Structure 1
Amino acid sequence: MMGHLSSPPSTSARGPVVRRVVKLLRRYRSAAAVTLLILVAQSVAVWRFGSVQELGHPQQPWGGRGGRRGRAQLPDADELLPRSHDYNALYLPNERFKSNIKENVKQLKNMSSLETKYSSWQNLGNEIAVKNEIEKKISRNALAANGIARKGNTSSKLWSQHHQKSLGSIHGMKASRFLQKDIKTHGGLTSNNIKAVMVGGNSLRQNRAKTKASTDESQAFPQPISATPCKIVEADALSAMSRAQSRQCKEELAAVVCLHQQGRLMPEELPRTCPLKEKKPGVSVQWLQEEAARAALPAERGRPAAAGEAATSSPVRVAFVLAVHGRASRQLLQMFRAIYHASHFYYIHVDKRSNYLYKQVLVLAQRYENVRVTSWRMSTIWGGASLLTMYLRAMSDLMAMDDWPWDFFINLSGSDYPIRSNNELVAFLTKYKDKNFLKSHGRETEKFIKKQGLNRVFHECDEHMWRVGERKMPAGIAIDGGSDWFAVTRQFVSYIIHSKSRLVSQLKQFYAFALLPAESFFHTLLVNSEHCATLVDNNLRMTNWNRKLGCKCQYKHIVDWCGCSPNDFKMHDLPRFQQLTRPTFFARKFEAVVSQGVLTSLDAALFGGPPPPSGPSLQAYWENAYDERTDSSASLGDAALTIYQGLFRLGLAQNAHQTPRSGSSLCSYEPVGHPTAAHIYFSADRFQGILVQQRASHSASRHEEVLETWAYPSNHYKVYNSTLLPRLQKMEVGTDWDPKERVFRNFGGLLGPWEQPVAVQHWVPGANVTVTVVWLDPAGVIAASYDAPVRGDLLVTLYRPPLRLPLRPGAWSVRLLVRWRPVAEVLFMVCPLAFLDGQPMTKEKAAYAHMGPPQNKYLEQSFQGLRRVLKLPVENTGQQEANEHALLTDKALWAWIENLISRFWVLADTCSVSESSVRLGCQSLPPCRQSVWSSHYPDPKSELGPVQLNGTIRH
């Protein structure tokens, strides 16, 4: 370890005290090394203690304070994350880690009485090496704790190779190898794709889009700059570079930091060209009920909707920019039906990671002349600079489309929905056609700057926003911001894209390295520009904010900051749409997987039509989870692939058994290949199960056709004594918990041996209580036990014990006790895998994946002393059977899988997609288009039709 110290200066240059210290240091070199190792061990201990946390949230070091028998004490759900205003605790592991690193470096300096010197990033070994050594030990220990780092384990070896490669990309790397390269910044994009970005995007159908090459296009984006080597001592930057995965990202971070330290990254002051004296100018607008009522009346196509509008004022035309991602294609289509009008224009950007949705949107664009899809795609992460870049590029494209004479730019997402008609929107915007509508934060500017992290430098790479340092706001301008949803005029968009002023160009540069830049860039530019008098403090939206639930730091895995997100509207929110007093035309957020009912009811109130629940599909919702045309089976995951195939096989078997004996062969099918599609199915805002579509071969004729099977999970929640704990409503176990909506995003609970499940308890208010939660694996091993204090005002508590992996497949149990008396129990399935890394399971792989954790220990502690208290057999008799199951392959493995799935799932029905089963004589297989549960059943609310005489596509 002492090899990391800088070489001492010459003896002649030292004083007697320094010579004495150096002599002692050389004499006790081994003691100094031991001291440093102790410091490193302390850092590891602190980190490991903080890493055993609920839901992987690093902000809370869970202690066992007050716990009995060595069990960890459970925090309540409201304490799982730091409060939304506690910005010093936003990334606590890094802060704690940086504190330890600084202390280690300080001790090194004290031991040697020498100053550690940094001449370039190459010489960061003193601090980076210590940091990476700690991270290496932490990761090794964490993997060992999860049962991965075991003898002969391929995963451990692969991880080790990856970690060594990561270390090599930081420690000992010459700065000249990358810092002298041009790091071209484009709103957070890397130098690899900057050239593609700088070229204006053409529309999907260039034969219809008379686009022109914009000579001023480069003004839309920050310009390339280069960095020279520097010494990096900023703790945030060191932390970010050590955590970044790719070499490219590490290089970009280093270049950004060096540019910032050299004062070349962003401007120190900017000119303000607003002629008004107010720092936040703005005008008020009125929208009287009488005007809204007149505008709501039907209007002829192309005629102003407002009865009182001047005859010479033509109605405005809107360019809607839709930024969409995910798989909710039917919800997107329903929203598109609601906002479509032939006089408007629709430019759609689909996230680069959403290939299934992109395919659906391409089909949509082919149907209508005024719909285009960006030919370029980006990964627009929450809070990232890429979102601002995407909007700037979309604006540049729209300005180049001469055949689209739009007046307003309005951005929407797939989770928005209109709450007033198109006629009302057009009438309002026509009345205020020279105004720009942006919502300000409404608080003190300094508080807003700190809350948004605008005083910090961020850089986006590896689909993550890295915090790398601090910065000052540019002098001379007013900083403003708020919502990143807006409606702005063509004149302002032209100014943003074509202006060559220093205010525009350097403000783009400033926000290229900002967190949540789209929430502040447009506001700040408008209030400081000559267009400042056009600002209206209203973004025409209604947003469903619930800070207590929406500010749970749920984006910490993609950004080094805590942020908030609005909640979904539900049925009980419907009265709020009828009580609006200010001009509001859109609302967010909506999610059909949470509540399709509110969308259906809002649509009926807005456009008329049959009130819900008229029609079998109006209250139903289908969302695609897998499609072989756009997704690989590897992306599906081994557990989901196994369960989908198991459900389909069971569906075929059930269909064959339901057929009369005289014609049993007529409905006998064998599965072929892998599933071709899968959907999650909802009805009346409740999860109804999974639909699996796959090819099957008819046993008699060998004819192949496509079938779809519907299965739903059975209830395995039992209450033993409700009088002991009347507050308890239910318990559930799953993965992908959403603390904002309080649902598991892994619908159906598809769990395999490599998952980390979470136990959730739902409560009603009442007295404070402490419960005991016990986890039992299929062999009867007590995997975990902990106490859970539940405050009287809590509605949800949850905890994810840090179990070593792999979990033993089979039926697991989570029991809840009060004073060691059983209250309730929930069973859940950990499915054996028929595939590992997409390949069929072998005996060697099965022993690795299905045997459970090393030495049967899921945690460091042993809970065998609780067997008598829980009235379990002292001798674990299920171990031998579990070991036998762990070695099964081929047909025996599938028999085990199907038997287990049948205990936790109910096979409801199967239908024929190709409808050839009837011709083959199998009457028990109805056509899917006639089965109300099928994804092929008609769904009018998301079906698109031709353009009507009134300009809409609604029948």
Structure 2
Amino acid sequence: MKGFEGVSLNMERRWAFPLVITSVLCVFVLASCFNMGLLSSIGSIPSINTIIAHYSRSSVNQTNPLFVESIVSQPPPPPALPPLPRFAYLVSGSKGDSQKLWRTLQALYHPRNKYIVHLDLESSVEERLSLAARIDNDTLFSTVGNVHMITKANMVTYRGPTMVSNTLHACAILLKKYNDWDWFINLSASDYPLVTQDDLIYSFSKLDRKLNFIDHTSRLGWKEAGRAMPLYIDPGLYSSKKSDIFRVNPRRSLPTSFKLFTGSAWMVLSHDFVEYLIWGWDNLPRTMLMYYTNFVSSPEGYFHTVICNAPEFAKTAVNHDLHYIAWDNPPRQHPRYLTLADTDRMIGSNAAFARKFRQDDPALDKIDRELLGRINVSVTPGRWCGGKPRCSKVKNPDKVKPTRGAQRLGQLIPRIVSAEAFQTRQCK
């Protein structure tokens, strides 16, 4: 028995050494594989010290328990704000209006915007050439390149369809020449802004860019018999000499395939709606244009009837023209001229524009000084202004500095674009 026990002990000792060596090798291989895996992912997994420190802070602050996902995942960046809007202006005038038009253009100027200038064919060649040279020779305008004058002037008859065709002409030029604008605004040389362009850009930056600001109603009243049923001819459609519209017989009945609307001739129209007016893919704008060819004061009906008979755009109509206009009581054909006595009411209206003004009226000087900040400067100053003299160069057109004008617009615009205003005053 002792011999057998000695043999067994020797055999156990013989196998023990290889077993130990094999075990050590296995542990070494496993440790190497584990370390290689750690090396490949060390950039994505925090160290144990980091986790312990984070957990300690979480415990002290009594926050939620630590999860690895909360360390690895990052919140998505906030959505980018839309770029500031751009406006495209038509500023038009007639014989003797070049100086008024120039002043209005300077008051409206901003390097982000686009401008079409038109003096009609009644103005002399010399007056038109003088204004064109003035625009070309202006260092700021020529450097930025955003002011365009229609040198081949149109004949425009007051109250006639040629006023509509002239506006559509400007829209077509803007779509072809610039296109990177958001709203179209038509003004005359007798209009003037009550807010800076920085104010207007800032206020509209918060709005849906499909909105159209157009004063309108379907309650024609006396206009039904006085404007919709008589037939009128505009000689400006075929004559190179200006003359008034005239009436012809017979009268016509009211339309039954569409509903007539009327309102202010001064509007702020979206880029989408202007494209629709020019392209007219369902033919409604062209049909309306032919109908309004024989309509008196067609600028006060064409755009309104088109937008309210086009379902796609009727829901975008805001029933306001953003103007302050003073009428006599009872109203006459023209609004009355504004003076210094009207300035408090103008400001109190919170409107963006006012009309009509006589040339160089003292009220304009007051507006320049107190509302626009045009003191010893040619154009209305804004955040974009640079150079010496002030505003002679463009510093940063993508920044705006709102003034009290933006506060006034902030009282008007939310009220007229509210859901309640849409439902009760939209294409009614």
**TM-score normalised per structure 1:** 0.29
Instruction: Tell me which residue corresponds to 1:359.
Output: 129
C-alpha distance in 2 between matches for 1:358 and 1:427: 34
Q: Is 1:345–1:404's contact at 8 Å kept on the other side of the alignment?
A: no
CA contact (8 A) 2:219 2:261 kept: no
Query: How far 1:389 sits from its partner (Å)?
Result: 1.1
Are the structure 2 counterparts of residues 506 and 579 from structure 1 closer, same or farther at C-alpha, using a change threshold of 3 Å? same
Residue 253 of structure 2: aligned partner: 472
The structure, 1 or 2, with the larger RCO (C-alpha pairs under 8 Å, 6+ apart) is: 2
Question: Which position in structure 2 is the counterpart of 1:491?
Answer: 272
- The match for 2:230 among 447, 456, 459 is 456
Aligned-pair identity (%): 24
| AA matched with 2:320 | N
> Which of 368, 375, 381 is 2:151 aligned to?
375
Alignment of 1:661-700 (within 5 A): none
Q: Which residue of structure 2 lines up, in the alignment, with residue 390 of structure 1?
A: 166
Unaligned runs of 5+ residues in structure 2 are: 1-78, 377-388, 400-428
Distance 1:464 1:317, change over 3 A: same
* 1:592 and 2:359 matched: yes
Q: CA deviation at 1:506?
A: 1.4
2:371 equivalent in structure 1: 606
On the 8 A contact 2:132/2:151 being kept in 1, the answer is no
Q: Is the CA contact 2:86–2:183 (under 8 Å) kept in the aligned structure 1?
A: yes
- What is the letter of the counterpart of residue 316 of structure 1? P
Provide the C-alpha distance between the structure 2 equivalents of 1:502 and 1:336, rounded to a whole number of angstroms: 34
Judge conservation of contact 2:210–2:271 (CA < 8 Å) in 1.
Answer: no
Pair member with larger Rg:
2
How far did residue 601 of structure 1 move?
Answer: 0.6
Q: Normalised by the size of structure 2, how large is the TM-score? A: 0.64
State the match for 2:91 in structure 1: 322
Q: In the alignment, what sits opposite 1:555?
A: none
Match status 1:421 vs 2:196: yes
Question: SS at the partner of 2:246?
Answer: strand
Q: CA separation in 2, counterparts of 1:606 and 1:437? A: 23
Q: 1:533 and 2:315 equivalent? A: yes
Query: Does the 8 Å contact 2:182/2:271 carry over to 1?
Result: yes
Structure 1 position 526, deviation (Å): 0.3
Aligned to 1:566: 335
In the TM superposition, what is the alpha-carbon distance from 1:505 to its structure 2 partner? 2.1
- Tell me if the contact between 2:191 and 2:355 (Cα under 8 Å) persists in the aligned partners: yes
Does the 8 Å contact 1:333/1:944 carry over to 2? no
Distance 1:375 1:326, change over 3 A: closer
Could you tell me which residue of structure 2 aligns to residue 176 of structure 1? none
1:879-926 deviation per Cα after TM superposition (whole angstroms, max 9, x unaligned) = xxxxxxxxxxxxxxxxxxxxxxxxxxxxxxxxxxxxxxxxxxxxxxxx
User: Counterparts in 2 of 1:22-61, with a 5 A limit?
Assistant: none
Using the alignment, how far apart are the partners of 1:340 and 1:486 within structure 2?
18
Determine the structure 2 residue equivalent to 1:8: none
How far does residue 945 in structure 1 lie from its aligned partner after superposition? 6.8
Superposition deviation, residue 586 in structure 1: 0.5
Q: Deviations over 1:180-225 (max 9, x none)?
A: xxxxxxxxxxxxxxxxxxxxxxxxxxxxxxxxxxxxxxxxxxxxxx
> Residues 450 and 373 of structure 1: is their aligned pair in 2 closer, same or farther, counting only changes over 3 Å?
same
Once the 2 structures are TM-superposed, how far is the Cα of residue 490 of structure 1 from its aligned partner?
1.0
Report the Cα distance in structure 2 between the residues aligned to 1:336 and 1:609, rounded to whole angstroms. Answer: 13
| Preserved contact between residue 195 and residue 372 of structure 2 (Cα < 8 Å) | no
3-state DSSP class of the match of 1:347? strand
Q: 2:290 aligns to what?
A: 509
Q: How big is the shift at 1:363? A: 1.7
Is residue 319–residue 345 contact of structure 1 (8 Å, CA) maintained in 2? yes
Q: Deviations over 1:467-494 (max 9, x none)?
A: 1131122213221111111010111011
- Deviation readout 1:757-801 (Å, 9 max, x if unpaired): xxxxxxxxxxxxxxxxxxxxxxxxxxxxxxxxxxxxxxxxxxxxx
**How far apart are the structure 1 equivalents of 2:134 and 2:114?**
13
For residue 512 of structure 1, give the secondary structure of its aligned residue in structure 2. Answer: helix
Summarize deviations over 1:607-626 as a string: whole Å, max 9, x none: 3366xxx9xxxxxxxxxxxx
Give the alignment's Cα RMSD to 1 decimal: 2.5
Aligned length: 293
Q: 2 CA distance for matches of 1:607 and 1:396?
A: 30
User: Is contact 1:383–1:517 with CA below 8 Å preserved after alignment?
Assistant: yes
- Are 1:410 and 2:185 counterparts? yes
Quote the residue 1:947 is aligned against: 393
Contact kept in structure 1, 2:98 and 2:119, CA below 8 Å: no
8 Å contact kept, 2:186–2:266: yes
Measure how far apart 1:947 and its partner are: 3.5
Match of 1:774? none
Asked whether the 8 Å contact 1:543–1:589 carries over to 2, the reply is: yes
Shift, 1:950, TM fit: 5.5
Conserved 8 A contact 1:485-1:539: yes
Mark the CA change 1:350 to 1:528 in structure 2 (over 3 Å): closer, same or farther: same
Q: Work out the CA distance in 2 between the residues paired with 1:505 and 1:327.
A: 33
- For the 8 Å contact 2:159–2:296, the answer to whether it is kept is yes
CA shift, 1:409, in A, is: 0.8
For residues 347 and 173 of structure 2, what CA distance do their matches in structure 1 show?
A: 37
